[in-house]
Structure 1
Amino acid sequence: MNGLSVSELCCLFCCPPCPSRIAAKLAFLPPEPTYALLPDLEATTPSSSGTSLRGRTPETSMRWKLHLTERAEFQYSQRELDSTEVFLTRSNRGNRIGCMYIRCAPSARFTVLFSHGNAVDLGQMSSFYIGLGTRINCNIFSYDYSGYGVSTGKPSEKNLYSDIDAAWQALRTRYGISPENIILYGQSIGTVPTVDLASRYECAAVVLHSPLTSGMRVAFPDTRKTYCFDAFPNIEKVSKISSPVLIIHGTEDEVIDFSHGLALFERCPKAVEPLWVEGAGHNDIELYSQYLERLRKFISQDLVSQRA
């Protein structure tokens, strides 16, 4: 019976958990915000890119300044501050979503739409984004999920999908970036909205970093099928992705077992050569040299050969 205990089976079939309860139990740990957005009273235009204000509210057309607290563990230099833009947009579920766009490489062909992992927000991720974008020659766009950072609302599976839709639309309309120049990157819980969006829209490429197959399979590792009440069913959506997919997973991942990455790789028809990082856990893959090496090769070689 899929290796589940009698009590677990009784729980599933007598009182199956709803997706929101699975999601809340497994995933969402928003930290105390590590940043704030302060109105820039000296400028009210949204961007130096010259994009139109049509369809914007006063909130979304206002310029904002990024204020990092000590908990962010990183403070910007003026140069980095000048290359970073923060703003608010609205999701179709009515939540205000905090967004960050970093021009790491002015001549970059690609922009990475990054969906971060759990228990962090944009303030904590900003230094990583700057380093990553500079090293892989890409600009970075990221956002906070509902209930994280300055984003309003509460974390939920439905809000995750709505949040990334809002980020996708903001990236496309505010900066005029076309889908063929957008790389969707999801880390851990961030692979959930990434897979969902990639299954609905074609883009340049997709990176799944320490991905999960589904909520039930994390909670009950012997689960072999996707139940109707399962949350985060990446395993059922990944086959619909039409863009090249790079999957990265540590072989000693203590949070989301390595088997999840393998299962998604086997199910994904557009997967390229994966990166299995021997000995890496859930939160230290970036410390291994092959991480940046594989990303650079994926962007500079794999994507070129896929388009040929």
Structure 2
Amino acid sequence: MNFGFACDENDKMGGVTSSIAAKFAFFPPNPPSYRVVPDESCGGVLYIPEVPRRDDVDVIKLRTRRGNEIVAVHVKHPKASATMLYSHGNAADLGQMFELFVELSARLRVNLMGYDYSGYGQSTGKATEYNTYADIDAAYKCLKEKYGVKDEQLILYGQSVGSGPTVDLASRLPTLRGVVLHSPILSGLRVLYPVKRTYWFDIYKNIDKMAMVNCPVLVIHGTADEVVDSSHGKQLWVLCKEKYEPLWLSGGGHCNLELYPEFIKHLKKFVHSLGRSKSATNGSKTSTVDSDECKPPETGTSDSSELGSDLPEVSRNSLDSRLEKSKKPNKPEKSRMSTDRVDTFKRRKGLVW
């Protein structure tokens, strides 16, 4: 795929606008994997016929400040210790993410809201960087106004391209409970080219916003990620103010991290540590890293000295070929949480972060 701009760092790139860069950044599933239908027998309550209907799940349509109507789901847990706002990856929509949302809510004991970006699934409008910022703000506003969630109870979760709206919102909320960055990007342009400075037309400038995030941050990244190199996650972790022990999954790719048992174990530990930290300190700020419980996982290392000065150029072959290349002789044990999610996510060819 030709992205239309050069690989060097000179001013030749200056002619590329943010709209051109954004044109190649979004791949909503086409056709969408789900529909939203009103149930007239229940007063017009919305539901998604393609997924199991549950009493503990609300399907909602939200109006954003940019005039789009986005679809969100809210999964309730009877003993929730926190609420998680999940921003999904580039080539997925709510229909594909639904089972994972339900299982994460159950395993982590949290309420969970997931939403579709403008132009994804049954959300109206077009997928752009600034529309996704409005999208996550609408979901955040709903959590506060409809569900009474306070910032101190809220954990933001950003997967891949979802790290963009996640870091943007987190940089504006000083009292969040925590942030999870799953295969995150330093910026859109840095996924493609090893640039050393930020250009005005770049998108999702996480590298410049990370220092403004004040809560504990967990970074999870696969060491064999051929879409977003693991150096992105490692550099963002270095930039965190309040670091939680990261998880570098050895051999993990871009779309299969949930298949590793270490994934849910480490994520659960992080969520529970945030709850303990809140109760123990009565709201005061302390480090969330527990030297006994948060040792570096066996699957990787948190040594920041592994960071190189340059980011390698990322392969843009089809995801199928990338996953094939990243297969190891010793396959990870498949966790109960994942139900053939690599097969479920039928990615199209091209950049899919």
TM-score by length of 1: 0.84
CA deviation vs aligned residue, 1:206-265 (integer Å, no higher than 9, x gap): 000000001111111x21111112111000001100111101000110100000001101
State how far apart, in whole Å, the 2-side matches of 1:15 and 1:242 are: 33
Q: Give aligned pairs, total.
A: 275
Please report the RMSD computed on the Cα atoms of aligned residues, expressed in angstroms. 1.9
Consecutive unaligned residues in structure 1, runs of 5 or more: 1-5, 45-61, 69-74
Whether 2:48 is the aligned partner of 1:66: answer yes
State how far apart, in whole Å, the 2-side matches of 1:163 and 1:140 are: 16
CA deviation vs aligned residue, 1:136-166 (integer Å, no higher than 9, x gap): 1112111100000110000000101000000
Question: Residue 160 and residue 256 in structure 1: after superposition, are their counterparts in 2 closer, same or farther (change >3 A)?
Answer: same
CA deviation vs aligned residue, 1:50-75 (integer Å, no higher than 9, x gap): xxxxxxxxxxxx6212221xxxxxx4
User: What's the counterpart of residue 177 of structure 2?
Assistant: 204
> 2:58–2:74: 8 Å Cα contact kept in structure 1?
yes
> 1:244–1:303: 8 Å Cα contact kept in structure 2?
no
State how far apart, in whole Å, the 1-side matches of 2:242 and 2:68 are: 33
One-letter identity of the residue aligned with 1:98: V
User: What's the counterpart of residue 58 of structure 2?
Assistant: 85
One-letter identity of the residue aligned with 1:67: P
Question: Residue 196 and residue 268 in structure 1: after superposition, are their counterparts in 2 closer, same or farther (change >3 A)?
Answer: same
> 2:171–2:214: 8 Å Cα contact kept in structure 1?
yes
State how far apart, in whole Å, the 2-side matches of 1:38 and 1:12 are: 50
User: What's the counterpart of residue 15 of structure 2?
Assistant: 16
One-letter identity of the residue aligned with 1:208: L
Question: Residue 8 and residue 280 in structure 1: after superposition, are their counterparts in 2 closer, same or farther (change >3 A)?
Answer: closer
State how far apart, in whole Å, the 2-side matches of 1:253 and 1:26 are: 17
State how far apart, in whole Å, the 1-side matches of 2:261 and 2:23 are: 34
Consecutive unaligned residues in structure 2, runs of 5 or more: 282-353
One-letter identity of the residue aligned with 2:256: D
State how far apart, in whole Å, the 2-side matches of 1:259 and 1:27 are: 22
User: What's the counterpart of residue 74 of structure 2?
Assistant: 101
State how far apart, in whole Å, the 1-side matches of 2:255 and 2:209 are: 25
> 2:86–2:114: 8 Å Cα contact kept in structure 1?
yes
User: What's the counterpart of residue 52 of structure 1?
Assistant: none
State how far apart, in whole Å, the 1-side matches of 2:269 and 2:35 are: 36
SS at match of 2:36: strand
State how far apart, in whole Å, the 1-side matches of 2:15 and 2:155 are: 36
State how far apart, in whole Å, the 2-side matches of 1:279 and 1:19 are: 33
State how far apart, in whole Å, the 1-side matches of 2:33 and 2:9 are: 42
User: What's the counterpart of residue 137 of structure 1?
Assistant: 109
Match among 163, 169, 177 for residue 135 of structure 2? 163
CA deviation vs aligned residue, 1:12-64 (integer Å, no higher than 9, x gap): 536532122212213333432111111222344xxxxxxxxxxxxxxxxx621
SS at match of 1:192: helix
State how far apart, in whole Å, the 1-side matches of 2:79 and 2:125 are: 36
> 1:214–1:234: 8 Å Cα contact kept in structure 2?
yes
State how far apart, in whole Å, the 2-side matches of 1:269 and 1:133 are: 27
Whether 2:27 is the aligned partner of 1:28: answer yes
> 2:117–2:132: 8 Å Cα contact kept in structure 1?
yes
SS at match of 2:146: helix
One-letter identity of the residue aligned with 2:46: W
Match among 228, 232, 235 for residue 207 of structure 2? 235
User: What's the counterpart of residue 220 of structure 2?
Assistant: 248
Structure 1, 35-44 or 9-18: larger mean CA deviation: 9-18
1:109 CA drift (Å): 1.5
1:176 CA drift (Å): 1.1
Whether 2:13 is the aligned partner of 1:40: answer no
> 1:31–1:120: 8 Å Cα contact kept in structure 2?
no
SS at match of 1:273: coil
SS at match of 2:137: helix
TM-score by length of 2: 0.74
- Judging by fraction of residues, say which structure has more helix: 1
1:10 CA drift (Å): 8.2
